[in-house]
Amino acid sequence: MTSGPATAVLTRRRLPLAVAAGLLIADQLTKWWALERLDDGSTIGLVVVAVLVVWAGRIDPRSQRVAVGAVIGGAVGNLVDRIFRADDGPLSGAVVDFIDLQWWPVFNVADMALVVGVIVLVGLLAVEDHRLSASLGAEAGADAGALGSGEGADGDVAGAGPLDAERT
């Protein structure tokens, strides 16, 4: 078996797809239970799953892949309802929402996975962006200090500006 970039991408896609599959199963089982015991609910918008699957192969941190898997699983769970519960044509089926907290809109496991996955993913991406910005700032500071004399290419002394009390 060969290893390389293509194999690495396939390996990185496995985790989000496994999370998505697990959530799809949980979502469909709980919806089956709800239809047997509870009434129908409202629907939630669909996410473009294909884009997420492609993107999942390009992201490296495991935590981000799990979050993407949750979003994919939630979106596919609701999409399956729309396709297989349809009587009046493609995508006309109702999503089964049955979890009612009395103070929040009625939802299902797929909705939870989708919303939590998006929130976690946004948080993880924000932290990564913050770390990257801090890292780039530290590198820029190290580069400025590496000049030795403190003098820049244009002859100005580093850190000496019009508000500095003392110029070197």
| Catalytic annotation, residues | 97, 111
Burial pattern 129-149, b for ≥16 Cβ within 10 A else e, equals eeeeeeeeeeeeeeeeeeeee
Helix, strand, or coil (residue 107): strand
Would you report the helix, strand and coil content of the chain in percent, each value rounded to 5? 60, 0, 40
